Structure 1
Amino acid sequence: MMQRKNELNEVFSMYESDFAICEQTIRNHSKSFYKAFSKLPKQKALSIFAIYSFCREADDSIDVHNDLERLNKLKLELDDFLAGEIPDRYFWRALVPVFETYKMDDQPFYDMLAGQEKDWHFHQPDTQAQLEEYSYFVASSVGLMLLPILSDKAEYIKTQAIQLGQAMQITNILRDIGEDLKNQRVYLPKEVMRTFNVSLDMLKKETINDSFIEMWEYEANRAEQLYEQSTTMLSAIDEDCREALLLAMYFYKGILDAVRQNGYQCYNKRNFVNKKQQFELYQKVKSRLKGSLKE
């Protein structure tokens, strides 16, 4: 077993420069995720950084470059990669030892690309179910990519990984209402907006009233329910990964409280968990894993 571990480390070290770019990518774009997952054993952390870089390229193809051809190129590169022909890009090279080491599932990588294509052909969801289906493609797919790295029982906790991705995506939506409006997108379901008497015009006027807050809290409560349901997978997560996963979960869930603390201002203010709050959440994670918190 020790010999096998050394061989795997050697394989990873062959791609050191590519992993360094992957690590810089996640540091530049998601400080909270980086802070959480950098606590993993190095090989697992590097694997997650490589997967993040693939997802970042997929997301940026549409959200930054507004380029469907760029996304289609990535899909063709994925086909080649899985066929054993490695495209000449840093994240594909970094993914080589990841796929050699872990029992990776191909489908979530394709699902992520399908989710980005949904943003290209954007339609506001009619129902909560449609929102959560969309959230599967753009976020839960990521969780399913990471699962074989975090657990040797991945096949038993896919449902919880999907729930966590949906919770995180709904959190993104509630944080970025104003930013999404500028991009001509409203991810809040039409039926939910109607239920709480919130109109598109109100959103465009950056209205924050009782109706808006009640609608926002309806979605936030749904996200918090999904976060809690997803924590049931912790016992099946590798022991050396539990702290990092729970920390990522708490950091993201904390964004909801940040919006609340800022008076539900999610139109023109970037809400985030500050360093003091991150430290408090870290202590909470440590306590929960020790079993002193019963949640």
Structure 2
Amino acid sequence: MTRVTADEAYAHCLRVAKRSRSSFLPAMRLLAPEKRRALLAVYAFSRACDDIADEPGLAAGDRLRRFADLRQLLHDAYAGRTETPLGVALADSVRRFIIPKEHFAQLIVGCESDGTVTRYATFSELRTYCYRVASTVGLIGLEIFGYEDPVARELGEDLGIGMQLVNILRDVKEDAARGRIYLPQQDLREYGVAEEEILRGSMTDAIRRLLAMQAARAREFLDRGGKVVPLVVEDARRCLALLRASYVALLDRIEHAGYDVFRRRIRLGMGEKLSLLFKAWTGRLTSAL
């Protein structure tokens, strides 16, 4: 069998990102080519994790076997003996940027839990989940971007948690349809919200207050995590600033909709995306941090 070249492997990762219509693609284009290719490999790996977790109708045993296969691919990539396009791209990226394997391993653990854990008792539990499925990707990204101050890792972790909290807020309806409620059970009780109301998609005053609190929590993490942008190497700041700004804008949209995430899926319009991209390209997002 003909060995997959690095160029072919990264081209595969780009196709994965385009096929999934990744909102990360515009930000990736602001990076230097070598860093952009590495981030594409990371995205393709995380996409593989998500696809296994979210594939409907997949038996529990089959889901576990698919994750085991992904762990083997990760092991082979770090050992430098992989032949799949994703494996080759990943092996090249982790070698160039010296990325800790544990970040990828924790990402798998987090996505794997989506098939078995449908409720989180406290925010502490949810935060651990967010770290695994989002902060790990941010920490991998930091190794690709480059940084010197070790505090960047703490701030990058916060930024990832903030971004995932926005995803959870936006996707309350879709997750409920899958039987998942990521909003902490402790918070539901505190705000007098019954699970059945979330599962039915009933927008009540109590739910609105609950979601407003979740939004405020997400914004705190985004604000704190945004301080990481000036700490990365200069040629990566525009990319990271755009990623953060996109989530801040999405959170703004949710707030402007009165936190009604049940009526329709809230997303950024093309005009907003282009405006943010222009601001990032001209450095205005970076200078604002």
Are 2:99 and 2:143, in contact at CA under 8 Å, matched by a contact in 1?
A: yes
- Aligned mates of 1:148, 1:180 — CA distance in 2: 31
Could you list the per-position Cα deviations for residues 159-187 of structure 1 after superposition, in whole angstroms to 9, with x for gaps in the alignment?
11111111111111101111101111000
Percent identity for Structure 1 against Structure 2 = 26
Q: CA deviation at 1:119?
A: 1.2
CA pair 268-69 structure 1, distance change in 2 beyond 3 A:
farther
Q: How does 1:107-118 map to 2 (within 5 A)?
A: 107-118=102-113
Q: How many residues align?
A: 279
Are 2:191 and 2:210, in contact at CA under 8 Å, matched by a contact in 1?
A: yes
Whether 2:284 is the aligned partner of 1:287: answer: yes
Q: CA deviation at 1:221?
A: 0.8
Q: CA deviation at 1:73?
A: 1.0
Alignment-derived partner of residue 137 in structure 1? 132
Alignment-derived partner of residue 47 in structure 1? 38
Are 1:148 and 1:154, in contact at CA under 8 Å, matched by a contact in 2?
A: no
* Higher mean C-alpha displacement, 69-78 vs 201-210: 201-210
Q: How does 1:165-180 map to 2 (within 5 A)?
A: 165-180=160-175
Alignment-derived partner of residue 116 in structure 2? 121
Q: Runs of 5+ in structure 1 lacking a partner?
A: 1-12
Q: CA deviation at 1:155?
A: 4.1
Are 1:259 and 1:271, in contact at CA under 8 Å, matched by a contact in 2?
A: yes
Q: Runs of 5+ in structure 2 lacking a partner?
A: none
Alignment-derived partner of residue 64 in structure 1? 55
Alignment-derived partner of residue 157 in structure 1? 152
Q: TM-score, normalised by structure 2?
A: 0.90
Alignment-derived partner of residue 206 in structure 2? 211
- Aligned mates of 1:134, 1:210 — CA distance in 2: 28
Alignment-derived partner of residue 71 in structure 2? 75
Q: CA deviation at 1:30?
A: 4.3
Are 2:212 and 2:255, in contact at CA under 8 Å, matched by a contact in 1?
A: no
CA RMSD of aligned residues (A): 1.9
- Aligned mates of 1:57, 1:35 — CA distance in 2: 20
- Aligned mates of 2:103, 2:38 — CA distance in 1: 15
* Higher mean C-alpha displacement, 204-213 vs 174-183: 204-213
- Aligned mates of 2:44, 2:101 — CA distance in 1: 16
Q: TM-score, normalised by structure 1?
A: 0.88
- Aligned mates of 2:135, 2:66 — CA distance in 1: 22
CA pair 154-267 structure 1, distance change in 2 beyond 3 A:
farther
Are 2:53 and 2:115, in contact at CA under 8 Å, matched by a contact in 1?
A: yes
Alignment-derived partner of residue 26 in structure 1? 17
Find the residue that maps to 1:184 and give its secondary structure. Answer: coil
One-letter amino acid matched to 2:205: D
Find the residue that maps to 2:24 and give its secondary structure. Answer: helix
Find the residue that maps to 2:213 and give its secondary structure. Answer: helix
Q: How does 1:249-260 map to 2 (within 5 A)?
A: 249-260=244-255
- Aligned mates of 1:101, 1:186 — CA distance in 2: 39
Alignment-derived partner of residue 228 in structure 2? 233
CA pair 142-250 structure 1, distance change in 2 beyond 3 A:
same
CA pair 263-172 structure 1, distance change in 2 beyond 3 A:
same
- Aligned mates of 1:126, 1:231 — CA distance in 2: 28
Could you list the per-position Cα deviations for residues 125-165 of structure 1 after superposition, in whole angstroms to 9, with x for gaps in the alignment?
11111111110011111111111111142744111111111
Could you list the per-position Cα deviations for residues 39-93 of structure 1 after superposition, in whole angstroms to 9, with x for gaps in the alignment?
111111111001110111111112126322101111122122222321x321111
